[in-house]
Amino acid sequence: MAAVAAAAETPVIKVAALSGSLRKGSYNRGLLRSAIQISKESINGMQIEYIDISPLPFLNTDLEVDGTYPPVVEAFRQKIAAVDSILFASPEYNYSVTGPLKNAIDWASRPPSVWADKAAAIVSAGEDFGGGRSQYHLRQIGVYLDLHFINKPEFFLNAFQPPSKFDSDGNLTDAETKEKLKQVLLALQAFTLRLQGKC
């Protein structure tokens, strides 16, 4: 009974998971799938929903009519508005964030912005620096958006250094990496609750 009562008292935070890569088998989408699995199995009080940004049109203010947005854009904005925090999987394209991710960020920043005062974390998988340069650009963008990123732990994964940490479908299989990902989620949970004055 005590365990049930404790579980009932744990605040539940809702997290939107966004991937800068649209490819189904991408390692960055694999990180988000693993994060969702970890949250369900071993983190009490966290619900992560993957939000697909591929249907969003290119940002074009001509699509805004009388202060309204295309239905697919409005649906995306409402999903972001409804969550407590954001988990970005941000691959690195040409030393920066990807076009699809920047496009999604820009749509959700149109007035009224739905990013402000949310906690956020970034994970990335890539070559060499593991997507780190994209993370630093995303943090710069977040300053203007009033997103509050956790500082530690950082998560940069060199996905191409053997042995492979993913299977052929892009699913994360490495236990050590999963544990590092779990620590990011726990830090995001704690920071979100702190920002909300719940801990």
Domain count for the chain = 1
Per-residue pLDDT at 193: 97
Contacts of 186 (CB under 8 A, 6+ apart): 43
Is pLDDT of 10 > 90?
no
- For the residues 173-191, what does the mean pLDDT come to? 97
Q: How confident is the model at residue 162 (pLDDT cuts 50, 70, 90)?
A: confident
Mean pLDDT of 165-192: 96
Angle at 83 between CA 77 and CA 84, to 5 degrees: 135
Average pLDDT, stretch 107-118?
A: 97
Q: Would residue 7 count as lying in a domain?
A: no
Whole-number pLDDT of residue 3: 47
Q: Is residue 124 part of a domain?
A: yes
pTM for the model stands at 0.93
Residue 2 has pLDDT above 70, yes or no: no
Residue 123's CATH number: 3.40.50.360
DSSP 33-80: HHHHHHHHHH-TTEEEEE---TTPPPP-GGG-BTTB--HHHHHHHHHH
Average pLDDT, the chain: 93
Tokens of 113: 């912005």
Q: What is the pLDDT of residues 40-95, one digit of tens each?
A: 999 999 999 999 999 999 999 999 998 899 999 999 999 999 999 999 999 999 99
Q: Does residue 185 sit within a domain?
A: yes
Whether residue 5 is contained in a domain is answered as: no
Residue 165 in any domain: the answer is yes
Q: Is 102 inside a domain boundary?
A: yes
Is residue 2 included in any domain, yes or no? no
Mean pLDDT is lowest, of 17-21, 27-31, 163-167, for: 163-167
Q: Is the pLDDT of residue 31 over 50?
A: yes
Range of the domain at 115: 12-195
Residue 20: inside a domain: yes
